[in-house]
Amino acid sequence: MTWTEPAIWYANLPAFYAAAAAFITDPTGNVLLVKPTYRNHWSFPGGYVDEGEFPHAACVREVQEELGIGVVVKDLLVVDWALPAEERPRALVHFTFDCGTVTNLESSTLCRQEIQDLAFFPPRLAEQRLPGNVAPRVSAAIQARARTTSVYLAGGSAIQ
C-alpha cells in the first residue's frame, strides 16, 4: 500500500455543505418560521455556515442578519444529513439549535432583501409550510427539546 501525501488525501475526500438554523417557539409551542424572498417556501431562521465558522456561531449570525435580534444558542436539537440534490451538488449537514422561547418579536427588524415575512405556526402547520425533506425537523426538534437529547435524521428520516 502506497502512502498518500495528506494534502492529496484530504483533497480527494468528499466535501459537503453545512447549514445552521434556530428552533424558536412562542410560549404556547408555536414554531417560528421565516419566508425568504428567494424561495417559494418557508424555512427556519438560519443559513449556511461560512468557512472558518462554527455552526452555532452561524446560527447566531444568521438570525441577527435575518431578523435583527440576538439569540442564545442552547442545545443542538437536530442533525440532518441530506444527500446531494439536483440544485445542490454536494451533501448538506444541517444543524438545528434550540434558541429558546420568544414572547415578542416587535423588536425584530427583517432584512427585507432576504426575508419577506415571519410568523409563528402550530407544529403541524409549520410542517406543511416547509419542504417535505425539512418538515420532519419540526417534530424531531420538539422531541429533542423535551428529552434534552439530539436527534439524528438522514434525509429527513429518523434512524432507528
CATH code at 139? 3.90.79.10
Residue 2 lies in a domain: no
Residue 71 lies in a domain: yes
Mean pLDDT of the chain: 93
Contact 31, 98 (CB under 8 A): no
Section 147-159 average pLDDT:
92
Section 12-41 average pLDDT:
94
pLDDT value of residue 19:
98
Domain total for the chain? 1
Q: Is the pLDDT of residue 153 over 80?
A: yes
Q: Is the pLDDT of residue 131 over 90?
A: yes
pLDDT value of residue 104:
82
Section 48-64 average pLDDT:
97
Full domain range(s) for residue 96: 15-158
Alpha-carbon distance of 109 to 133, in angstroms, equals 29
Confidence class of residue 160 from pLDDT cuts 50, 70 and 90? low
Residue 5 lies in a domain: no
Q: Is the pLDDT of residue 15 over 90?
A: no
Q: Is the pLDDT of residue 119 over 70?
A: yes
Q: Is the Cα torsion angle 33, 36, 40, 44 positive or negative in sign?
A: negative
Contact 142, 35 (CB under 8 A): no
